[in-house]
Amino acid sequence: MNFEMLAAQADLLSGSSVGMGIVGAAIGCGLIVIGASLGISKIAGNAVESIARQPEAGGRIFTTMIISAALIEGFTFFAIVVCLLGVGNLEKLAKLSLGITE
């Protein structure tokens, strides 16, 4: 058994490269959610204000608001999936660089 290789594997997988990648993905997911919530809240606030000023256009404003919010949510889910897939690929690359096969 090659103890040096096992030590290198343990050091790389628990070390800064994978750990910092996971921290980066967590920060990225947090920023994505904050941005999406700010965007949707701005859309909703402006829609309510517009409906209060012009109640007869409420149906069209509401429809436009729902479409815009759905587009923001779709982009948010896509960005979160990309962040989480990046973490999985980071661990695979670290294992491949050490020659670990599972």
- Using one digit for the tens of pLDDT, what is the confidence trace for 45-102? 999 999 999 999 999 999 999 999 999 999 999 998 888 887 777 767 666 666 666 6
pLDDT tens per residue, range 26-49: 888 899 999 999 999 999 999 999
Instruction: Provide the number of structural domains found in the chain.
Output: 1
Residue 43 contacts residue 69 (beta carbons within 8 Å): yes
3-state secondary structure 37-96: HHHHHHHHHHHHHHHHHCHHHHHHHHHHHHHHHHHHHHHHHHHHHHHHHHHHHHHHHHHH
- CATH number for 76: 1.20.20.10
pTM of the predicted protein model: 0.68
Higher pLDDT, 67 or 15: 67
- Domain residue limits at 88: 40-97
Rg of the chain (C-alpha set): 22
pLDDT at 7: 58
